[in-house]
Chains A and B, each alone.
Chain A
Amino acid sequence: MSLDGKTAVITGGASGIGLAIAQEFAAAGARVVVADIVEDRAVTAAARISADGGTAVGLPVDVSDRTAVEALFARTEAELGPVDILVNNAGISIDRGVRRITDDEWHKTIGINQTGVFLCSQAAATSMIPRKTGRIINIASRAWLGWFGQLAYSTSKGGVVSATRSLAIELAKYGITVNCLAPGLIDTPLLRNEPAEVLERLLQAQPTGTLGAPEDVAWAARFFAEPDARTITGQVLYVCGGKSLYARPAGQR
Chain B
Amino acid sequence: MTSLQHPEQPAAIVTGADSPVAAAIASRLRSSGWRVERATGTPVVPKAPISGLVYEPGLLASADGARPGQIVDQLFDLVESVRPRLPTSSEGGARIVVVSSRDGLGWADRPHAAAASGALVAAARSLALQLAPAGVTVNVVAAVPPEAGTSRAAAEPSELTPDAVTAEDIARTVAFFLDDRSGYITGQVLYCCGGASLLSSLSV
Contacts and interface: CB of A to CB of B under 8 A. Distances in A.
A230 B160 contact: no
Contact of A230 (B128, B161, B190): B161
Given A175-B162, A228-B172, A239 B184 contact: yes
A241 B173 CA distance: 18
Interface string B161-185: 1111110010011001001011111
A233 interface: yes
A212 B132 CA distance: 13
Interface string B143-175: 000000000000000011111111001001100
A231 B159 contact: yes
A172 interface: yes
B117 interface: no
A63 to B, nearest CB: 24
Contacts of A232: 169, 173, 190-194
Q: How many residues of A sit at the interface, in one of the four size bands?
A: 35 or more
A177 interface: yes
Contacts, number: 114
Contacts of A220: 182, 185
Interface stretch (A49-57, A71-79, A92-100, A161-169): A161-169
Interface string B118-132: 000000010011001
15 contacts: A172-B161, A207-B128, A207-B129, A207-B132, A208-B133, A209-B132, A210-B184, A219-B182, A228-B169, A231-B164, A231-B193, A231-B194, A234-B197, A241-B132, A241-B184
Given A169-B160, A207-B132, 7 more contacts: A172-B161, A207-B133, A208-B186, A223-B176, A231-B166, A233-B161, A237-B185
